[in-house]
Structure 1
């Protein structure tokens, strides 16, 4: 691999306490050298499985898949068309496409319009428009964009609004706003944000709520909550979370249940993810054995299997392998799948599962390999079988592979049956998904509020899904409908619908019996609180003038007070229901005569 001065290098080993794997001239290199810019090699850092929607409509009803590979020694990106039946790779016309110096990782925006490459040595981010018919890349105006100090890994928020880049030399994470029209990047105010020592991998959970960063030299995972509007990163309570020795990569499963970090010393740390706070808790049995030089970790789209590239020794004379695991759906524990590990080339530095879950690809980075191992994934067992023709030739030192699917464009609309509505009143939201092809979309639509799911529904034969709710609190809800896609049609998100739920009214009624009464006689006051949309609950207060007689709880909208101590004469008795943020206050009075 050439360093910034163009010298030919090979991968060599750094010891597990002081050195980092680098592409150096046949000898180990201490971290000080690697961080001085003398040809640092950073392995694949985040494995992102992207379901990518097209920039414009397809003319075919068959989705196309493409594999993108960053070649760190030849400073370019190879693009391959993936055969959807066999997994065979064929380079597209014009491939490879130029990148910056020592490109390290690739990320694709969720709408399939743009690709981004982190270039370590040139300290910048290359940005490309994707041709949805051919998969070819064209650099956009303004590219490359300035980095923050040795860009090592790039990830895109699932909303497409922000890009996150780890800076391994500056111990920080840069955040960029993504222009939705042009794909250009602009660093946000407050960026970069502090990370641990040598942040080498970054990933975003599938809901776009949290960012996780693997810090190679502080042996931990930094975790941040994403501020939806600004993209700012706020450290999660408890962050950083302990990892194994030299965590090289981190990923979160597609269902946001578990996180996994591949540790260079030969194992995988596994965590449960708190879906509310984003906090990580190591699960029982963690870390799980994987093999020496465990670098990348990937989870298949179903969340049932995990794959780790490992096994090459320090001489790089021995081929590596891909270790496969079944994921326990309850605990997140890893159990080797039958036949694991599966043979790969020398130094499998990146592993990716295609969006269909049918194929697995490993980028073998060492110069004598410089190829891609391809496997068919058994959906029942998780076992891997080599694809015919594997391995496939790549550029020099391919260290990052991503597989994306470019299918049929869809659009999703969202309507409300009543807006504004009133607390307690039923509202039905209707999502309509339209395909630009001839096949009606199938599958599920998720109804979300600021990224949080309030319900989901299955599309009917007309591509329509509905959700009815009556229990939303009085407030404003920025709602979107998110279509998750199917085998042919790709996912899409509706425009924001601001659903307003108003406070409902209440009416109080108070009666007494007997009335009139005699001195010392027990009198029962009955309060009834009603509302046009709900049955009110909670306390009511009985008063006589400024004197509180009692407080009682409503049951079925009614509450009673029995009292025998009222004075002779006329007393105005009042019941007050104070309500809450959902139900308005009301009161009523009755004049009680005591003879």
Structure 2
């Protein structure tokens, strides 16, 4: 039956049968007429595309599943001007280079960061620019975004994306500044009004805490500059008391997952400075017992996803600490020996794997993290080359990031 067909009720209904009655029901409609009217409405709905089911008996209206999202690992190679891209097996932790890796980038890639939604990847360079890529989260492949590279007019050596995915921030080394860029819908960057903002001497690391606070480690100045970021404009305002004194040469920073403690790795002398973050002001207060000894050196620092463990790359091995849940104080629990030289670290938090970059042999060493004890164990197959034959090349890898 088509939608515009007319129905003659007399012809289709016919005379009453012996058991049928014309007496109306409680709603005033004869029973047979009510049943027939329902049949008409059902037929019209089906013929005109109404109703909940329009497919055949073997069909399905279930929407297709969303695209798969891989856990990805990236390493910038400063000497070669390339990016290593690897996928991670979340069950075993094993990294595997994607097809085409290493990927071409540009001069002196140094810092690297991925936005929280895994849409965009950014690389900073001391040449004074940030290079942006569209990220295929299922394959790890990168496509240069429109407008890239984005000039920083400064010697950018480290980079971070704020947890909301609105802003990219760079620490600008010998320029003694911090730059802030707004992320557009396509990933393109626009420097915010007032940027770059003054920092201490030689800022070499930068992090953003969940409470809208930004911290930059001033490697020459022996301090941490603290700012509050305006989440509308991106403008930075120094926190009262900033900069806060730290060790002689802080080169790496990490904020614990709760956003209440900050740790700075100091390579000279080897130590980790710990601070409590005032969540209402962003001010830093040294944790009792800080700085905590790191006798083998401290080049890179990370925490696990639970915020109970802290790990330090000392240039050769990885030192491990537990974090006191209340005070944030660190207690050493031992050193995990690598097969090479651990210079930078990244954690795949949900799956409890730690990745240590060896910047001499151009390889990654992978540890499983014992969530109960905090100890590390090298997984089978270590070490893993960044790509086949990578240990025979002068790549100069500088940092490492994992996007889950």
TM-score, normalised via structure 1 length: 0.55
Q: d(CA) in 1 for partners of 2:159 and 2:150?
A: 13
Match among 214, 223, 227 for residue 224 of structure 1: 227
Q: CA RMSD for the aligned pairs?
A: 1.5
Q: d(CA) in 1 for partners of 2:256 and 2:172?
A: 24
Q: 1:126 to 1:163 in 2, by over 3 A?
A: same
Answer yes or no: is the 8 Å Cα contact 2:90–2:351 preserved in 1: no
Q: d(CA) in 1 for partners of 2:131 and 2:339?
A: 28
Give per-residue Cα distances to partners, 1:48-68, cap 9 Å, x unaligned: xxxxxxxx97345xx521111
Q: Would you say 1:330 and 2:330 are equivalent positions?
A: no
Q: Which residue of 1 aligns with 2:177?
A: 172
Give per-residue Cα distances to partners, 1:537-588, cap 9 Å, x unaligned: xxxxxxxxxxxxxxxxxxxxxxxxxxxxxxxxxxxxxxxxxxxxxxxxxxxx
Q: Which residue of 1 aligns with 2:201?
A: 197
Q: 1:86 to 1:201 in 2, by over 3 A?
A: same
Q: Which residue of 1 aligns with 2:66?
A: 58
Give per-residue Cα distances to partners, 1:67-111, cap 9 Å, x unaligned: 111112211111111111111110011211122212111111111
Q: Which residue of 1 aligns with 2:239?
A: 236
Query: What secondary structure does 2:118 align onto?
Result: coil
Q: d(CA) in 1 for partners of 2:108 and 2:362?
A: 15
Answer yes or no: is the 8 Å Cα contact 2:91–2:351 preserved in 1: no
Q: 1:283 to 1:89 in 2, by over 3 A?
A: same
Q: Which residue of 2 aligns with 1:188?
A: 192
Question: Structure 2: which 5+ residue stretches go unaligned?
Answer: 1-63
Q: d(CA) in 2 for partners of 1:347 and 1:173?
A: 30
Q: Which residue of 2 aligns with 1:504?
A: none
Answer yes or no: is the 8 Å Cα contact 1:364–1:399 preserved in 2: no
Q: d(CA) in 1 for partners of 2:288 and 2:209?
A: 22
Q: d(CA) in 2 for partners of 1:191 and 1:59?
A: 37
Match among 81, 87, 103 for residue 81 of structure 1: 87
Q: d(CA) in 1 for partners of 2:75 and 2:257?
A: 22
Displacement of 1:347 after TM fit? 4.0
Displacement of 1:293 after TM fit? 3.4
Displacement of 1:206 after TM fit? 2.6
Q: Would you say 1:134 and 2:133 are equivalent positions?
A: no
Q: Which residue of 2 aligns with 1:341?
A: 335
Q: 1:84 to 1:277 in 2, by over 3 A?
A: same
Answer yes or no: is the 8 Å Cα contact 2:304–2:352 preserved in 1: no
Q: Which residue of 2 aligns with 1:149?
A: 154
Q: 1:238 to 1:57 in 2, by over 3 A?
A: farther
Q: d(CA) in 1 for partners of 2:226 and 2:339?
A: 33
Match among 383, 388, 398 for residue 375 of structure 2: 383
Give per-residue Cα distances to partners, 1:253-291, cap 9 Å, x unaligned: 010111000001211000111011011111111111113
Q: d(CA) in 2 for partners of 1:345 and 1:176?
A: 39
Q: Would you say 1:297 and 2:301 are equivalent positions?
A: yes
1:100-499 matched pairs, under 5 angstroms: 100-120=106-126, 122-179=127-184, 181-207=185-211, 209-265=212-268, 266-310=270-314, 312=315, 320-337=316-333, 340-366=334-360, 369-394=361-386, 396-405=395-404
Q: Would you say 1:91 and 2:97 are equivalent positions?
A: yes
What is the count of residue pairs matched by the alignment? Answer: 333
Q: Which residue of 2 aligns with 1:19?
A: none
Q: d(CA) in 2 for partners of 1:170 and 1:57?
A: 48
Task: Select the structure that is richer in strand.
Answer: 1
Give per-residue Cα distances to partners, 1:278-332, cap 9 Å, x unaligned: 111111111111134311111111111111000x4xxxxxxx0011111000111
Displacement of 1:349 after TM fit? 2.1
Q: 1:57 to 1:397 in 2, by over 3 A?
A: farther
Answer yes or no: is the 8 Å Cα contact 1:250–1:297 preserved in 2: yes
Runs (4 or more) in structure 1 with deviation over 6 Å come to none
Q: Comparing 257-266 with 347-356, which one deviates more in the overlay?
A: 347-356
